Structure 1
């Protein structure tokens, strides 16, 4: 039974696994964590034996392993609807806004965030400045859209928090670490403050800070696993 399954989250502090961890916290689930240090050969080899995709997050539920943020979050939403991770979706064609938004966060915004925060992934010529500049350019209409949305309502869905807010927050704050300028967007900064004060994500951020202290690292100096 899913309700009695044991959960283990494979993650790294500061990576997009933060979003899945916030979902687990929001759902009130008991789970264990395993920090994946992909830059260390032994740790990477061990993790590839668990998850051949070699990325975080991955979530073990009993003897099953789920990977990809969107898939994990949709799974948790399906089995724990009372957690309010996403708005109710009847599943009919044309009424899948929450699924669309979740995929937008992971498949569109997430790569743009990588371009800004970790541009070396996208070039073999060493033109990291050019890749970063292009990512920042791609982000401009997104920042405008986000700002307009948060001027109209506290959360992405107006007065209803969702895990989309946590995923958006991870994207734009991670890109900010790479040089994306958020200062012109006061509504976005307000959303950032509100989202990071939301109970589930606030707990995760606290956990990450403790993990970073134990590792003797800071978020800005971490390897870029996002």
Structure 2
């Protein structure tokens, strides 16, 4: 695989998901921190991600955007880290990785924007309603150390990141199953390093989850 990996990030964003994944796979990467606003909309960065959003990575000549896609790519690009199941065993892995990227994030984001779908609108939306999404995910992690099989994977990085961030900032209700699942993963060295990095950046910006 290409040796040079550039990580475009802002630590106070979804980039922390990819940061955790990079630490887990042990990639040799260079971090380019972009401030919100003009830096993310500059022609140079729009050539990387026309959406003008972070995270993104450039791995040699390969550019990947969208946090879930980057997690899946890194798991495959660094197979020695063991963060993707064998191809024949990837059903739950893909299911929950993209459940969090689709229904969970959409439902939580719309709630944060103050949107409450009507029963008619629920039929039009892929996630239906937030309560149904959370109940489904609760069933997936309840009593489990990992969400897909019996070993840690990129799906855990993505799902646990969303649950931890959501519970911290009040966009996802704290449920015992969510807390137990995240608590077990937060002890990982890579997770702790990234969390400490984000906390330092939040303190520097005067941000607080309270």
Shorter-normalised TM range: 0.7 to 0.9
Contact kept, 8 Å, 2:4 with 2:59, in 1: the verdict is yes
**1:99 partnered with 2:94:** yes
Query: How many pairs were matched up?
Result: 201
CA 1:219–1:196: 2 relative to 1, 3 Å: farther
**1:15, 1:82 → 2: CA distance?**
28
**1:8, 1:83 → 2: CA distance?**
19
Aligned to 2:173: 181
Deviation at 1:66, TM superposition (A): 1.4
| Equivalent position to 2:162, from 168, 171, 178 | 171
TM-score normalised by structure 2 residue count: 0.80
**1:42, 1:189 → 2: CA distance?**
36
Write the mapping of 1:1-226 to structure 2, written as runs, cut at 5 A: 2=1, 4-38=2-36, 40-45=37-42, 46-90=44-88, 96-117=91-112, 119=113, 128=114, 130=116, 138-176=129-167, 177-182=169-174, 185-214=175-204, 216-218=205-207, 220=209
Runs of 4+ in 1 over 6 A off after TM superposition: none
User: Residues 10-35 of structure 1, C-alpha deviation per residue, up to 9 Å, x if partnerless?
Assistant: 12224222222111111111212122
User: Residues 59-81 of structure 1, C-alpha deviation per residue, up to 9 Å, x if partnerless?
Assistant: 01124321122322222122212
**Structure 2 alignment gaps of length 5 or more:** none
Deviation at 1:42, TM superposition (A): 4.4
**2:171, 2:98 → 1: CA distance?**
24
Contact kept, 8 Å, 1:11 with 1:33, in 2: the verdict is yes
**2:76, 2:39 → 1: CA distance?**
35
**1:48, 1:219 → 2: CA distance?**
30
Contact kept, 8 Å, 2:75 with 2:154, in 1: the verdict is no
Instruction: Describe the SS at the equivalent of 2:11.
Output: coil
CA 1:108–1:81: 2 relative to 1, 3 Å: same
**Structure 1 alignment gaps of length 5 or more:** 120-127, 222-226
TM-score normalised by structure 1 residue count: 0.75
